[in-house]
Copies of this chain bind each other. A is one copy, B any other.
């Protein structure tokens, strides 16, 4: 699963810490998702997509 999180976050001038607080997870969780260590839960994916005003499919690309 790929994602565009890093680009979108930096484009908004936010740190991983900033994003973590808004979404309601730890800073390390944001980092792990950006580095594509694992996928977010569905609720977390929804929050992220809403924040960046796009669909989950636009934010995360599932290859499978």
Interface presence of A47 (CB below 8 A): yes
How many copies make up the complex? 2
A43 surroundings in chain B (CB, below 8 A): 1, 39, 62, 64
Within the assembled complex, what's the spacing in Å between the Cα atoms of A32 and B47?
Answer: 23
Within the assembled complex, what's the spacing in Å between the Cα atoms of A47 and B60?
Answer: 13
A60 surroundings in chain B (CB, below 8 A): 42, 46
Which residue in chain B gives the minimum CB-CB distance to A42? B39
Which residue in chain B gives the minimum CB-CB distance to A60? B42
Of B40, B46, B57, B62, the contact of A64 (CB 8 Å cutoff)? B46
Interface presence of A26 (CB below 8 A): no
Within the assembled complex, what's the spacing in Å between the Cα atoms of A45 and B57?
Answer: 11
